Amino acid sequence: MSESTTGGALGKLVGRAKEATGSLLGREDLQREGKLQQVRSEAEREAAERAAEAEKAEREAELESEKAEVRSERREVELEAGEMAAEEQVERNLSEERQEAGKRAEQEASAAERERRAKEARAEQERRQAAAERTETQRDAAELEQEASKAEQAAAAVDPREGE
């Protein structure tokens, strides 16, 4: 048993050969060594298969983990994008409301200015009308004074003593 054993498919083949040779020669030790080498080769093959399967499963698990992480990051990005869109909408709404408020304030100021001008125009018209009425009243008063003066002159001409 000082021989080294090879593993894998070659080891299994060598193990069969040893077993067959041991069986033919009647050497139980060679026959056992052959069986043992076959068992070792089979165990190594199974271990290699299991290691490959385990490695494959580990790669698949890592891949799945990476996919889950990417999905999570995508959700986070989508949420952030949604939040940004919502904030932008709020900003647009505020801007629109400010513009509308500014327009309303301008309209109200314009309406107030029109109303002030209309009141000033009415007041100016009333002042002119009052001035015209005053002028007409003064004219009427002057005419009445002239008529009174004429009447006094006519009365004085009729009765000269009355004027004294």
In a domain, 156, yes or no: no
Radius of gyration over every alpha carbon of the chain, rounded to an integer in angstroms: 62
Flag whether 93 is in a domain: yes
Burial bucket for residue 12 (CB in 10 Å: 0-12, 13-18, 19+): buried
**pLDDT band with cut points at 50, 70 and 90 for residue 154:** confident
> Which of 56, 41, 40, 34 minimizes the C-alpha distance to 10?
41
Lowest-confidence range among 35-39, 63-67, 106-110?
A: 35-39
**159 inside domain:** no
Tell me: the pLDDT tens digits for 22-60? 888 898 998 898 888 888 888 888 888 999 999 999 999
Could you tell me if residue 162 is inside a domain?
no
Domain total in the chain: 1
The verdict on residue 158 lying in a domain is no
Q: Does position 115 have pLDDT exceeding 80, yes or no?
A: yes
Averaged over 72-76, what is the pLDDT? 95
How far apart, in whole angstroms, are the C-alpha atoms of residue 14 and residue 47? 19
What's the pTM value of the predicted model, to 2 decimals?
A: 0.42
Question: Which of 24-38 are b and which e, b meaning 16 or more Cβ less than 10 Å from the residue's Cβ?
Answer: eeeeeebbebbeebb
- The reported pLDDT for the residue numbered 93 is 95
Q: Is the pLDDT of residue 5 over 70?
A: no
Within a domain: 157: no
